C-alpha cells in the first residue's frame, strides 16, 4: 500500500460530494441542464420529490452558486430556476454518471 493511499480525501472533493451527493440534488441539476424551469416543472420531471425538499435543495444549490433564481414581476409572479455558469460545467460529469448508470443499472 502506497503512503498516499491512506491520506485523507481532498477537502474540495468532500465538499463537492457532500453537496451533490444529497438526495435529489443530482436529479435537480440534471433537470436544469436543458434550461431554466419553474418549480412545478421540476416536480413533474422528478417523481416522488416533495415540494418542500425541492425548495430546500434549490436553496442549497443557490447558496453554493450552482443555481440562480430569476423572479419575473408578472401577475402572478413567475419564478424560474436555472444553472449558473458554475452549474452548467457539471454537464460532463452528469453525462458520465448517465453512461455509468446505463451500463450497470438494471431497473426493477
Per-residue pLDDT at 3: 53
pLDDT digits (tens, 9 = 90+) for 44-92: 999 999 999 999 999 999 999 999 999 999 999 999 999 999 999 999 9
In a domain, 15, yes or no: no
- Determine, yes or no, domain membership for 18: no
Residue 108's pLDDT band (boundaries 50, 70, 90)? low
Give me 53's grid cell. 425538499
Domain that holds residue 38: 25-103
Domain-located, residue 73: yes
Residue 10 inside a domain? The answer is no
**What is the per-residue pLDDT across 1-36, written as a single tens digit (0 to 9) for each?**
455 678 889 999 999 999 999 999 999 999 999 999
CATH number, domain of 45, equals 1.10.10.10
More confident residue, 106 or 35: 35
pTM here is 0.89
In a domain, 85, yes or no: yes
Q: Are 29 and 48 in contact (CB under 8 A)?
A: no
Q: How many domains does the chain have?
A: 1
Residue 92 lies in a domain: yes
- Reported residue count of the chain is 108
Supply the pLDDT for residue 4.
65
User: DSSP characters for 50-79?
Assistant: -HHHHHHHHHHHHHTTSEEEEEE--SS-EE
Supply the pLDDT for residue 7: 86
Amino acid at each position: 500500500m502506497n503512503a498516499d493511499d491512506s491520506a485523507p480525501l481532498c477537502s474540495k472533493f468532500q465538499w463537492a460530494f457532500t453537496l451533490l451527493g444529497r438526495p435529489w440534488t443530482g436529479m435537480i441539476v440534471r433537470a436544469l441542464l436543458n434550461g431554466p424551469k419553474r418549480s412545478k416543472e421540476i416536480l413533474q420531471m422528478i417523481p416522488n420529490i416533495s415540494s418542500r425538499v425541492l425548495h430546500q435543495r434549490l436553496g442549497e444549490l443557490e447558496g453554493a452558486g450552482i443555481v440562480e433564481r430569476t423572479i419575473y414581476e408578472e401577475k402572478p409572479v413567475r419564478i424560474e430556476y436555472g444553472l449558473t455558469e458554475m452549474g452548467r460545467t457539471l454537464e460532463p460529469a452528469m453525462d458520465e454518471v448517465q453512461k455509468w448508470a446505463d451500463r450497470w443499472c438494471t431497473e426493477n
